[in-house]
Amino acid sequence: MRRIGLIISMLAIGLAIGGYVFFNGERKVPVHYRTAAVQRGPVISMVSATGTINPVVLVEVGTQVSGMIKGLHADFNSRVKAGETVAVIDPEPFKARREQAVSNLEVARSNVARSKADLAQRKRELDRVQSLLPQQFVAQNDVDVALTNYQSAEAQLRVAEAQVRQAEAALNAAEQELKYTVIRSPIDGIVVARNVEVGQTVAASFATPNLFLIALDLTQMQVNTNVSESDIGGMTEGQEAVFTVDAYPGESFAGTIRQVRLAPINIQNVVTYNVVVGVDNTDLRLKPGMTANVSIIVAQNSQALKVPNAALRFLPPKAERERPEVNGQAADVIEGGSTAKSDEALTRKIVWKLTENESLSRIPVQTGISDGVATEILSGGLMEGDVVVIGIEQSLGEEKGSELPPGFGNKKRPRSR
């Protein structure tokens, strides 16, 4: 009896230990997936950039002469016509130079008249001695001297005539400088900047000073934006673009690409290209110099079969991938959802479809354009309405997460104290 009691006690202890292990031991927590349905809808691929709003034609008005600003006939926002006076430089010094040039011209013309008279006298003397030489009334030396004097008078006349032309050129230059003291608008437009005041002295010795900035037409504006070299391949003239400005929050403006300039801009080894977007500004709400946040539509499909981008990034836990019943394939999936068996597989993406029996099916797909949230599916085994996995939900009691991919529940929840 004692032996039977010992055996019963040992069996009771074994059952207790087995029950404790069964009910309190470590058990695998079932995996719950977050899913999304495959849908049809618009997908718009856009390139974002920042630019500045500028007038299409912006002319800098300067001065070609130096002097003091005597008067201003245009101010900020003034509308001007081509040829209209916008500023006047003190003309008195230039009038004095013109008068001096006029006097110099008169002197030069008087010298020409005197040279002509001297030449006529030398001509008569030469004719006289040449007529007396055959009768030997004069020596040959007298004829040579008369000829030399005549030739010198001819040369002097040419010098005087050249001085006249020089004086005329100086007079023309003085008159032109006097004309430049009146600064006129070269185009019809509106003054967007005035950089001088009355009484200010401007110097035009090395570079033309900038007095005014005149915009040709503010109803037609353009956005000058820089697009990186990685995105410039999709830029062509005529593409649609939308942009926003801080002055009108929540409101979008439409435009089209007018020009893709070929000159590269290299700043700290970052290459960008200037893309010009034309904008209709009939209501004059857009002002020059505003900062625009531009989105250029590169490609779009209004009826695309699309999946969330998270579905293309999702990778199941290792244990799930190694199950032989997962689409009947071995676990050849690498990080990023593509396979390593062939070069063709490397160009495709993998989407994990959730079947009716709550198992995973591995679906290779060919992707198209993306808007940053969803991606177009060009080909593959997906149909509209299929359920794809985008992540993993972790239960509150789960503590182990070593088998989950990064970003899908590895972080443990803090315990309450």
DSSP secondary structure string, 94-116?
HHHHHHHHHHHHHHHHHHHHHHH
pLDDT at 332: 41
Q: Which residues pair with 182 in a beta bridge?
A: 88
Average pLDDT taken over every residue of the chain? 83
Answer whether 72's CB lies under 8 Å from 198's CB: yes
Query: What class is the 92-180 domain?
Result: mainly alpha
Q: Compute the half-sphere exposure of residue 315: CA atoms within 13 Å on the CB side of its CA.
A: 18
Distance CA 365, CA 376 (A): 10
Distance CA 353, CA 346 (A): 19
Query: Is the domain covering 32-41+306-393 a CATH 3.40.1120.10 domain?
Result: no
Distance CA 387, CA 417 (A): 40
pLDDT at 300: 86
Rg (CA), the chain: 46
Distance CA 334, CA 316 (A): 11
pLDDT tier at 10 (50, 70, 90 boundaries)? confident
Give me the helices (H) in 285-385, please: 309-313, 318-321, 343-346
Ramachandran category for residue 152: left, alpha or beta (phi over 0 → left; psi -120 to 50 → alpha): alpha
Answer whether 275's CB lies under 8 Å from 228's CB: no
Write out pLDDT tens, residues 185-212: 999 999 999 999 999 999 887 676 889 9
Distance CA 325, CA 135 (A): 142
Write out pLDDT tens, residues 245-263: 999 998 999 999 999 999 9
Pairing of strands 291-308, 387-393: unpaired
pLDDT tier at 46 (50, 70, 90 boundaries)? confident
Query: What class is the 59-90+182-216 domain?
Result: mainly beta
Answer whether 295's CB lies under 8 Å from 253's CB: no
Q: Which residue has the higher pLDDT, 323 or 327?
A: 323
Q: List the one residue out of 34, 41, 44 whose CA is nearest residue 372.
A: 44
Distance CA 238, CA 267 (A): 27
What 282-285 contacts at long range (C-beta under 8 Å, 24+ apart), as own/partner pairs, is 282/219, 284/218, 284/219, 285/247, 285/248
Just give the CATH number of 47-56+218-300: 2.40.30.170
Answer whether 260's CB lies under 8 Å from 226's CB: no
Write out pLDDT tens, residues 270-321: 999 999 999 999 999 999 999 999 999 888 888 899 999 998 888 887 756 6
For residue 191, which phi and psi values (nearest 5 degrees)? -75, 120
AA identity, residue 185:
S
Helix/strand/coil for 333? strand
Distance CA 265, CA 271 (A): 6
Distance CA 23, CA 350 (A): 39
Delimit the domains of the chain by residue range. Answer: 32-41+306-393, 47-56+218-300, 59-90+182-216, 92-180
